[in-house]
Amino acid sequence: DAKTTQPPSMDCAEGRAANLPCNHSTISGNEYVYWYRQIHSQGPQYIIHGLKNNETNEMASLIITEDRKSSTLILPHATLRDTAVYYCIVRVSRDDTIIFGKGTRLHILP
């Protein structure tokens, strides 16, 4: 089972890019990297996922290193509404269901 390591918390100034790191050194070759976030008192929200190549959508960019042992989620222009807990997930159970870790609490500072 692949596991992730994320910093417990980070700060980012409003308007700046927020770069959230994730280490997953034991990831298997066919395991995807998923990112979710959870704003206070709401359900988690899917952000993005990727396998090898960098990915971008309307919410964020995902940069995966060539050896796939780490990745970075980038919110290009952080706003106060991006304050949330961000989960990096590569671990999939025997039933192929994703498993959430503790995540990174991102504080966007005005």
Partner 1 sequence: DVKVTQSSRYLVKRTGEKVFLECVQDMDHENMFWYRQDPGLGLRLIYFSYDVKMKEKGDIPEGYSVSREKKERFSLILESASTNQTSMYLCASSLTGFGANVLTFGAGSRLTVL
Binding site for partner 1 (CB under 8 A): 32, 34, 36, 41-46, 49, 89, 92-93, 95-103
Nearer to partner 1, 66 or 94 (CB): 94
The distance of closest approach from Cβ of residue 70 to partner 1 in the complex, given in angstroms and rounded to an integer, is 20
User: What is the residue whose two structure tokens read 């991006």?
Assistant: 82
The C-alpha atoms of residue 102 and residue 20 are separated, in whole angstroms, by 14
Q: Which two tokens stand for residue 39?
A: 């704003």
CB distance 32 to 52 below 8 Å: no
Residue 20's nearest CA partner among 28, 29, 11 is 11
The distance of closest approach from Cβ of residue 31 to partner 1 in the complex, given in angstroms and rounded to an integer, is 10
Nearer to partner 1, 34 or 64 (CB): 34
The distance of closest approach from Cβ of residue 98 to partner 1 in the complex, given in angstroms and rounded to an integer, is 5
Q: What are phi and psi of 17, to 5 degrees?
A: -80, 135
Rg of the chain over CA atoms, in angstroms?
A: 13
The distance of closest approach from Cβ of residue 22 to partner 1 in the complex, given in angstroms and rounded to an integer, is 15
